[in-house]
């Protein structure tokens, strides 16, 4: 029995125009997929009738042998299929990929604030391109490939980006997550142009992404709205920025009129770039502090020093479920310390980018921290990742960033 016969068994014929092998999923496992969730796990699929190389494009059929879409297959991953399209007739070729990239770019640009040239062009599954991250920094395009399926399309992707991307095209597939798909990490590669600093604007602030040495793709674009908020709230304030990295929050605060901004990060190299960002924005370095030390140690030794506004945006404390308990304790500890250094009316912007910590968990963490610090707080605003990091309702796994902006109230 061939694949076409299997699809036609039920008598309701849907003609498949591509030649991809078929993977059949178990009863009712099509419901979340048709609702928009892009993952099908290993316990949701039947064993294929023939061997399918990892990363292959496959047609997905439901338990009634009706085709429901096209995805990437990988039997080395617990996520057996990552959906690309809910149109069974789609052929994933250069035209398909280019059209999707152009549509995404147009949509993202349309929603960007004025004077902003840095944005996430493609956010993997959330943008229906599983395993692909593309960030645009002015005229520099930086991409990462996380999955075996997208790795098979890389040559096609590079050719498309040379046509519709920036003058400079950098690949940052130097990430450990590739190992989960049976892939090795790649060295950082320049596919077009040069690797000099990638300058861009964010709400008319000037930044430079460290695309060759920086974390991830070189700059964290997911806190754009939070940085705008800090700029609005910093006038005549004394501001502390913990885990400041390259100082984007610090620049926003200083431009917003802060009396002084103290930036604390364990990396001197990151602080050097923070100072560079201050210089790009014509800010006087002598009016602000840049301290290379562990943020926990700094806040522990700050004695009775108080600040009007504290920013606490640490790296992910929990990357796996097993780390969630230790991460929770770390979040409570650092937020307790921050709250202790704020007077009545003082404000804290605190974030968690740990996917294993939910928004509800994070609010519980802050409530515990406030209790331990003997503080009453109110939530002024809840924020998530910036709008270019698509948040699909059917795919909550893509919603990782939680940010709370809170204010200290009089006790009792």
249 with 390, same domain: the answer is yes
**Regarding predicted confidence, which is higher, 47 or 126?**
126
**Run of H or E including 221:** none
Domain hosting residue 171, numbered range:
94-199
* Domain-terminating residue out of 16, 51, 85: 85
88-109 residue pLDDT tens: 989 999 999 999 999 999 999 9
252 with 329, same domain: the answer is yes
Token representation of residue 298: 């700094």
80 with 108, same domain: the answer is no
* Domain-terminating residue out of 64, 85, 106: 85
SS3 110: helix
278 with 390, same domain: the answer is yes
Rounded alpha-carbon distances, angstroms, from residue 225 to 118, 221, 222, 276, 309? 13, 10, 8, 22, 17
Expressed in angstroms, the distance from the first to the final Cα of the chain is 75
Q: Cα torsion for 332, 338, 341, 347, to the nearest 10°?
A: -120
70 with 122, same domain: the answer is no
Query: CATH number for the domain including 12?
Result: 2.30.130.10
CB atoms within 10 A of CB 13: 11
26 with 100, same domain: the answer is no
* 111: in domain: yes
Report the C-alpha gap between 56 and 73 in whole angstroms. 5
**Confidence check: pLDDT of 9 > 50:** no
- 2: confidence class by pLDDT, cuts 50, 70, 90: very low
Query: CATH number for the domain including 179?
Result: 3.30.750.80
316 with 361, same domain: the answer is yes
- 4: confidence class by pLDDT, cuts 50, 70, 90: very low
Report the C-alpha gap between 103 and 81 in whole angstroms. 24
> Taking every pair of C-alpha atoms in the chain, what is the biggest distance, in angstroms?
77
Model-wide pTM > 0.85: yes
143 with 259, same domain: the answer is no
* 311: in domain: yes
110 with 258, same domain: the answer is no
What DSSP designation does 117 have? Answer: -
Q: Provide mean pLDDT across the span 267-277.
A: 97
Report the C-alpha gap between 49 and 169 in whole angstroms. 40
The C-alpha angle with vertex 126 and arms to 124 and 130, in degrees rounded to 5, equals: 35
27 with 156, same domain: the answer is no
72 with 116, same domain: the answer is no
Rounded alpha-carbon distances, angstroms, from residue 15 to 19, 30, 45, 310? 11, 19, 22, 59
* 23: in domain: yes
**Confidence check: pLDDT of 1 > 60:** no
Query: CATH number for the domain including 244?
Result: 3.40.50.150
**Run of H or E including 378:** strand 376-383
- 17: confidence class by pLDDT, cuts 50, 70, 90: low
Number of structural domains, the chain? 3
293 with 275, same domain: the answer is yes
* Domain-terminating residue out of 170, 199, 228: 199
CB atoms within 10 A of CB 308: 20
**Confidence check: pLDDT of 66 > 70:** yes
């Amino acid at each position: 029995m061939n694949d076409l016969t299997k699809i036609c068994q039920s008598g309701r014929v849907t003609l498949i125009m591509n030649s991809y092998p078929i993977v059949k999923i178990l009863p009712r496992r099509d419901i979340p997929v048709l609702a928009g969730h892009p993952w099908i796990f290993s316990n949701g699929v039947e064993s294929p009738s023939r061997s399918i190389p990892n990363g292959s494009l496959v047609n997905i059929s439901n338990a009634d042998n009706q085709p429901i879409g096209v995805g990437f297959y990988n039997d080395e991953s617990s996520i057996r299929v990552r959906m690309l399209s809910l149109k069974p007739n789609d052929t994933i070729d250069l035209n398909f990929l280019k059209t999707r990239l152009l549509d995404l770019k147009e949509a993202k640009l349309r929603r960007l604030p004025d004077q902003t040239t840095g944005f996430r062009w493609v956010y993997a599954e959330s943008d229906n391109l599983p395993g692909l991250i593309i960030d645009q920094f002015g005229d520099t395009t930086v991409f990462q490939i996380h999955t075996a399926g997208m790795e098979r399309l890389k040559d096609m992707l590079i050719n498309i980006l040379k046509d519709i991307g920036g003058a400079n095209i950098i690949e940052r597939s130097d990430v450990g997550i590739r190992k989960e798909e049976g892939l090795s990490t790649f060295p950082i590669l320049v596919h077009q142009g040069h690797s000099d600093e990638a300058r861009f604007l964010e709400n008319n602030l000037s930044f430079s992404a460290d695309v060759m040495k920086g974390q991830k793709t070189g700059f964290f674009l997911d806190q754009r709205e939070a940085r705008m908020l800090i700029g609005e709230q910093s006038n005549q304030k004394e501001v502390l920025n913990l885990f400041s990295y390259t100082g984007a929050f610090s620049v926003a605060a200083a431009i917003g009129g802060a009396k002084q901004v103290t930036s604390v990060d364990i990396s001197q190299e990151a602080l050097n770039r923070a100072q560079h960002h201050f210089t790009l924005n014509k800010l006087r370095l002598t009016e602000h502090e840049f301290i290379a030390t562990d943020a926990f140690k700094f806040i522990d030794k700050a004695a009775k020093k108080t600040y009007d506004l504290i920013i606490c945006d640490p790296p992910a404390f929990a990357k796996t479920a097993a780390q969630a308990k230790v991460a929770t304790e770390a979040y409570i500890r650092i937020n307790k310390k921050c709250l202790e250094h704020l007077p009545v009316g003082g404000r804290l912007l605190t974030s968690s980018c740990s996917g294993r910590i939910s928004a509800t968990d994070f609010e519980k963490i802050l409530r515990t921290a406030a209790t331990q610090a003997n503080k009453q707080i109110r939530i002024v605003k809840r924020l998530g990742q910036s709008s270019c990091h698509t948040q699909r309702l059917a795919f909550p796994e893509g919603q990782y960033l939680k940010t709370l902006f809170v204010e200290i109230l009089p006790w009792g």
